[in-house]
Chains A and B, each alone.
Chain A
Amino acid sequence: MKSLISVVDILDRLTKQFVEAKLYSGIDEANLADFEARWLPLLAEKLQRATPEELAQAQAQDARWNWRRKEAAWGHALSYQAFAVEADTVTQGLMYVSKHHHSRLPDHLGAPVIYVEAIATAPWNRPRFVPQPKYKGVGQVLIQAAISLSIEEEYKGRIGLHALPQSDSWYRDALGMIDFGADPDAHDMHYFELTGEQATKLIS
């Protein structure tokens, strides 16, 4: 069930003004309809014309993700939770997390983490996808939601994820997550983890 968690500010890069965005727990038909009607045509067009390298360059490596299928597979499971960010009554970002993964940090081996299964901002917000990206901060809002959930579930703020190559530097350099390197069990995507201490700094 979708419920409003908070109202947050994100930056409209075009007007240079902050605007209100709504962060929801759960996604509904309106979010899926936005994905299919607004996101997918842009991603599909890019997918049709681009090489894998160009997809990475254009921050479009999620072009084959289908959020309706994710919702169908995970929507009723207690172990998964979805989040959506909306602004201008349009879906600006989506995320699915799961609650059954464990830390790979030597000091916290076996401790639970919130694992980010999938996270995406709308194509028009991506700096390398469009010449004039719209909103900045959607991904950060979603990551902070994952951290908050981790604290709420007594996981101390720990989160983990496998990053699409297009996003490696954002997780490592902007968020300061620990890079465990390429994971052969996950198509060689890099595994990243945020400690409880790092999480506290990020949301304070």
Chain B
Amino acid sequence: MPDKKTMTLNLTETEMNVLEELSTQKDLSKTAVIRQALRLYQLMEMRLARGEKLFFESNQTKEKAELMLL
């Protein structure tokens, strides 16, 4: 495992609530949730940089909605 570095993260109460909710839902520590979020963010950026688009598809209707990122 690579060496890890520690940082302090300042969150609003709402953001912290969401983090705790995700942590409970996914049965992951808050650190693991943040690391997962960072991976997904980087993955999206890499694919968008290649000119790809990000869609959500409805399981029922197969309707696709493009997710616009700034």
Interface positions of A (Cβ within 8 A of B): 1, 3, 25, 76-79, 99-100, 110-112, 152-154, 156
* Interface: B25 (CB within 8 A): yes
Q: Cβ of B39 and Cβ of A111 under 8 Å apart?
A: no
Known contacts being A77-B42, A77-B43, A79-B42, is A112 close to B1, with CB within 8 Å? no
Chain B residues, Cβ within 8 Å of A111: 26-27
The CA of A110 and the CA of B21, in the complex, are separated in Å by 14
Query: How far is the CB of A41 from the nearest CB of chain B, in Å?
Result: 31
List 6 extra interface pairs beyond A100-B36, A154-B27, CB under 8 A. Answer: A3-B2, A77-B39, A77-B42, A79-B39, A112-B26, A156-B27
User: Which of A100, A110, A154 is within 8 Å of B25, CB to CB?
Assistant: A110
Using a Cβ cutoff of 8 Å, how many contacts connect chains A and B? 38
Interface positions of B (Cβ within 8 A of A): 1-2, 25-29, 32, 35-36, 38-40, 42-43, 46
Of all A-B residue pairs in the complex, the 3 with the closest CB atoms, nearest first, are: A79-B39, A78-B39, A154-B32
Query: How far is the CB of B56 from the nearest CB of chain A, in Å?
Result: 14
- Of A79, A110, A156, the most chain B CB neighbours within 10 A belong to A79
User: Which of B36, B42, B46 is within 8 Å of A112, CB to CB?
Assistant: B36
Q: Cβ of A1 and Cβ of B2 under 8 Å apart?
A: yes
Known contacts being A110-B26, A112-B28, A154-B28, is A99 close to B36, with CB within 8 Å? yes
The CA of A100 and the CA of B28, in the complex, are separated in Å by 13
Query: Which chain B residue has the least Cβ–Cβ distance from A78?
Result: B39
The CA of A3 and the CA of B3, in the complex, are separated in Å by 12
User: Which of A79, A100, A152 is within 8 Å of B1, CB to CB?
Assistant: A152
User: Which of A1, A25, A100, A154 is within 8 Å of B43, CB to CB?
Assistant: A100
The CA of A156 and the CA of B40, in the complex, are separated in Å by 20
Q: Cβ of A153 and Cβ of B32 under 8 Å apart?
A: yes
